[in-house]
C-alpha cells in the first residue's frame, strides 16, 4: 500500500514518539525516502521539540530558586508545620 502525504501527517506525532506499529512505521519510512515535503515537515517538527526541551527556551525567573527555598525554610522552621500524619 502506498501512503499519501496526508496520511503521514496524521501519524507524525506518534511516529516521533515511536508508538506507531511496525508495519505503519515501515510504510512511513518508505514514504519519507522519496517525499521531501514530508521529510521537511518531520524534521521541522522534531527541531521544534528539541528546541522546546532546551533549557534556554523556557527560562526560570531570576532568583526563583532562592525565593522558593527561602519560603520553604520559613515553613520548615515553624515547628507546627510538620508534615501531616495520616
Q: Which residues bind another protein (CB under 8 A)?
A: 6, 9-10, 12-14, 16-17, 19, 36-37, 39-41, 43-45, 47-58, 60-61, 64-65, 67-69, 71-73, 75-76, 81-86
Nearer to another protein, 23 or 55 (CB): 55
Q: State in angstroms the smallest separation of the CB of 16 from another protein.
A: 8
User: Phi-psi bin for 10: left (phi > 0), alpha (psi -120 to 50), beta?
Assistant: alpha
Cβ closer to another protein: 26 or 37?
37
Question: Residue 34 Cβ, how far from another protein at the closest point, in Å?
Answer: 13
Structural Rg of the chain based on CA atoms? 24
Instruction: Look at the block and give the residue holding cell 507524525.
Output: 12
How many Cβ atoms sit within 10 Å of the Cβ of residue 32?
A: 17
Inter-residue contact 16 to 46 (CB < 8 Å) = yes
- Residue with smaller CB distance to another protein, 30 or 69: 69
Amino acid at each position: 500500500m502506498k501512503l499519501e502525504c496526508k496520511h503521514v501527517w496524521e501519524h507524525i506525532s506518534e511516529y516521533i514518539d515511536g508508538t506507531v506499529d511496525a508495519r505503519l512505521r515501515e510504510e512511513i519510512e518508505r514514504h519519507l525516502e522519496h517525499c521531501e515535503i514530508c521529510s521537511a515537515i518531520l524534521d521541522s517538527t522534531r527541531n521544534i521539540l528539541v528546541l522546546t526541551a532546551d533549557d534556554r527556551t523556557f527560562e526560570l525567573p531570576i532568583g526563583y530558586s532562592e525565593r522558593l527555598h527561602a519560603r520553604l525554610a520559613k515553613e520548615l522552621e515553624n515547628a507546627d508545620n510538620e508534615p501531616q500524619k495520616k
